[in-house]
Structure 1
């Protein structure tokens, strides 16, 4: 199995499991639909296409070489990143949504993975993308991971604005002062 095939399989299995769990989400009361949400989705999609080798016309020379044992270690780190995202989704329970939404009985979740970072699902996916790019060793994978990171950071920023409005600025700002946005142990922003 090639490196690209191994990581495509990991991402595919994660996506399949993620989609199969969608019915357990509570109904949506309010959804953010805007040009900005469409833009971040397009940036993320472009990143995924580049990361997983969907564009064959780009120069695919290798930037470095991680070796076969390195690939397996990076595959394990990718799976660990997906498991972190899954932990966060399970911890959210029925409040989870793939879009920026408000659910019935919506409340601030600040325990479990949400005590480490405010957007642990995005953190897990960004980590998986970065590790995959290291394993694939190509410029297009690095650009893809950068686009995924940019897109998820943008989505997190939009989500924060929405949650601050929906849950109350005082509550959400206090959470922002305690917990970093995407990377654990970094200085907090409010």
Structure 2
């Protein structure tokens, strides 16, 4: 996807996401009165700006598992709930985790997870699609972070989602992050099935020496 198209898709979504968080926190003054929230907003904008140049796309490629599109339909509303509800519960003091240390831990996790989410997009470029699909000229990448785990971007998504929740001290945000796990596991299974069919023994060998998400555990 070209830079202008990625910008057209990414920037309004990020503006809406941050806008919901500001609204949930009670407005700009209330949101930007906390240094950790200022930090998490800056990181969000920076990562989103970088994503515009990543080369990712939403192409169905030469072969797509369309049956897995339900995962996107589930994750999008969870994402926007995660934008608003943690900020709102932080404002009203509902199910919050105490202390600025929790907020700064959240900023650190959001930053690290966001980078891990975005790094594979730059590595794969046009081969990285928001859909479960084989792209033209698709090649199996097994080096770098992919030499350790097969789905670093999904791990990054979970870590950054948890970090966002903790930046607002929000127990409900942690719960929303947990709600993402089953849809992501379904998507992982669909991706691996498609890649196994496409690459055959090479992918089987790759799976045998790597973990899906957590090195040595899963």
The TM-score bracket by the shorter chain reads 0.7 to 0.9
Q: In the alignment, which residue of structure 2 is the partner of 1:14? A: 47
- Which residue in 2 is equivalent to 1:46? 77
How many Å separate the matches in 1 of 2:64 and 2:42? Answer: 31
The count of corresponding residues between Structure 1 and Structure 2 is 181
Q: Match of 2:66?
A: 33
Specify every segment of 5 or more residues in structure 2 that has no aligned partner in the other structure, as ranges.
1-31
Which residue of 2 is the match for residue 142 of structure 1?
174
Distance in 2 (CA, whole Å) between partners of 1:101 and 1:70 is 38
Residues in 2 aligned to 1:32 and 1:12: alpha-carbon distance in whole angstroms: 32
Q: Cα 1:46–1:9, aligned 2, differ >3 Å: closer, same or farther?
A: farther
Report the alpha carbon displacement of residue 152 of structure 1 after superposing the two structures with TM: 2.0
Flag the 1:60–1:31 CA change in 2: closer, same or farther, 3 A.
farther
Q: Please state how far the C-alpha of 1:182 moved relative to its aligned partner.
A: 1.0
Pair 136,76 (structure 1): closer, same or farther in 2 beyond 3 Å: same
Other-structure match for 2:207: 176
TM-score, length-normalised on structure 1? Answer: 0.79
Point out the structure with the larger helix share. Answer: 2
Long gaps (5+) in structure 1: none
Q: 2:159 corresponds to which residue?
A: 127
Q: TM-score scaled to structure 2, two decimals?
A: 0.70
Residue 167 in structure 1 maps to residue 196 in structure 2: no
For residues 49-60 of structure 1, the aligned pairs below 5 Å read 49-54=80-85
Query: Could you tell me how far 1:125 is from its partner in structure 2?
Result: 0.8
Higher relative contact order, structure no. (Cα contacts within 8 Å, ≥ 6 residues apart): 1
The residue aligned with 2:23 is: none
**C-alpha RMSD of matched pairs (Å):** 2.8
**Counterpart-to-counterpart distance in 2, 1:54 and 1:9:** 20
Take 1:84 and 1:153, find their aligned partners in 2: how far apart are those partners?
A: 18
Instruction: Please give the secondary structure, in 1, of the residue aligned with 2:180.
Output: helix
**Aligned-partner Cα distance in 1 for 2:38–2:144:** 33
CA-CA distance at 1:167 after TM superposition: 1.4
